[in-house]
């Protein structure tokens, strides 16, 4: 079991290391290619747009075949092959096409790996956060390392670095075996989706992720415009994820105190606070530090609570359940966030853009109040 623990952790470490390169630095790379803010928003949105459809398609295949880890391995390899052309092509439409193709496969692997992880853990679901925190550590290590590297070398090296990281994701997926527990799908998944509880959960996931649009798309550029160095920007990103790691370490204890649905609402409330702080006080370093620490709630607490709720609600359709969570939140929500951030960033001050983000999180909180943890697994 200990060996399995480290193999699962390795995949999370590598996968989120790729996010540690993409999220803080990809917008800076696109900016170096002289793209406009709207074009940057559109290109980053492609990473989320394909997530609307791709995870559910691959989730359906995985549920029908039972080969969740095989799907992870295939899509991880194809994502590498589709990203490689970006080493040579840098025109807007060419990048748009290849980023869409790459993300169609890259976005498929994580939801199915969540199913694999939860399947291997069985009744020990409390250990999920302890494994998932290695993903956060991978993000931190990459952000700090690249923040220092790009202080000395050109950011034009980023696509090559990312290609290497994507290869490690594929390699790490080969180290994990399929979990033996194959669940039969009883009933139709729409019988689960149409439940008011599930609709409220998915909508709250959409709104909280949409609220992160200005942060994920323009935080690095915003800090750079405030005269922060790329190394210090990397440290700020790392602080947010470090707070997330600490949250993952204690989340199983929090779930013993209150239900996942309770912590879902707490996370949404703290997300509102986070974007209000960024809207009015982003020029104050101490406020930015507090805002980064609140990433523990806006992502860590919310994600851990949502994963548990999806696992409970979609007990007979977990492959598609996790895929649907990814599609609605990181897909539709992420794309919406990137697009409105790209549209607003050049025409209104950052204060207004982050106020819109706070409004999205507030709507998500109101909807999240309708979510209640199921007493029994829903079939």
pLDDT for res 379 = 36
pLDDT given at position 354: 93
pLDDT at 183 over 80: no
pLDDT at 248 over 90: no
Task: Look at residue 2 in the predicted model and tell me its pLDDT.
Answer: 63
Quick one: average pLDDT of 254-262? 87
Give the total residue count for the chain. Answer: 379
Average pLDDT over the chain, rounded to an integer: 84
DSSP assigned state of 376? S
Q: Which residues contact 365 (CB under 8 A, 6 or more apart)?
A: 204, 265, 268, 269, 271, 272
Q: Tokens for 289?
A: 């530090």
The full set of domain ranges for the chain reads: 2-368
Task: Output the DSSP codes for 105-170.
Answer: HHHHHHHHHHHHHHHHHTT-GGGHHHHHHHHHHHHHHHHHHHHHHTTTS-GGGHHHHHHHHHHHHH
Q: What is the pLDDT of residues 76-129, one digit of tens each?
A: 999 999 999 988 888 888 888 888 889 888 888 888 888 788 777 766 666 777
Q: Which fold has domain 2-368?
A: Growth Hormone; Chain: A; (1.20.1250)
pLDDT at residue 194 above 60? yes
- Band the pLDDT of 234: cuts 50, 70, 90: confident
């Amino acid at each position: 079991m200990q060996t399995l623990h480290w193999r699962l952790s390795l995949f999370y470490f590598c996968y989120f290391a790729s996010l540690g390169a993409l999220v803080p630095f990809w917008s800076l790379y696109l900016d170096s290619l002289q793209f406009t803010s709207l074009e940057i928003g559109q290109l980053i949105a492609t990473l989320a747009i394909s997530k609307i459809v791709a995870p559910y398609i691959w989730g359906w295949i995985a549920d029908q075949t039972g080969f969740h880890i095989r799907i992870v391995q295939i899509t991880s390899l194809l994502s590498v092959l589709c990203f490689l052309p970006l080493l040579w092509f840098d025109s807007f439409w060419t990048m748009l096409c290849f980023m869409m193709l790459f993300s169609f496969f890259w976005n498929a692997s994580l939801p199915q790996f969540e199913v694999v992880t939860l399947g291997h853990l069985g009744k020990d679901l409390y250990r999920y956060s302890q494994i998932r925190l290695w993903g956060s550590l991978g993000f931190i290590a990459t952000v700090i390392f690249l923040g220092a590297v790009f202080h000395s070398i050109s950011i034009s090296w980023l696509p090559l670095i990312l290609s290497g990281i994507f290869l490690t994701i594929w390699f790490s997926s080969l180290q994990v075996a399929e979990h033996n527990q194959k669940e039969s799908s009883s009933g139709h998944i729409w019988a689960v989706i149409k439940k008011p509880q599930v609709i409220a959960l998915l909508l709250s996931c959409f709104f909280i992720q949409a609220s992160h649009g200005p942060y994920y798309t323009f935080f690095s550029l915003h800090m750079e415009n405030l005269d922060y160095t790329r190394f210090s920007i990397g440290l700020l990103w790392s602080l947010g994820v470090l707070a997330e790691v600490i949250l993952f370490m204690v989340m199983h204890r929090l779930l013993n105190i209150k239900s996942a649905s309770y912590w879902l609402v707490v996370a949404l409330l703290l997300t509102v606070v986070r974007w209000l702080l960024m809207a009015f006080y982003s020029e104050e370093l101490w406020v930015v530090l507090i805002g980064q620490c609140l990433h523990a709630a806006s992502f860590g607490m919310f994600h851990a609570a949502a994963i548990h709720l999806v696992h409970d609600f979609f007990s007979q359709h977990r492959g598609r359940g996790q895929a649907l969570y990814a599609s609605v939140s990181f897909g539709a929500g992420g794309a919406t966030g990137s697009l409105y951030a790209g549209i607003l960033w050049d025409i209104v001050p950052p204060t207004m853009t982050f106020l819109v983000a706070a409004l999205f999180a507030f709507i998500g909180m109101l909807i999240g109040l309708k979510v209640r943890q199921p007493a029994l697994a829903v079939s």
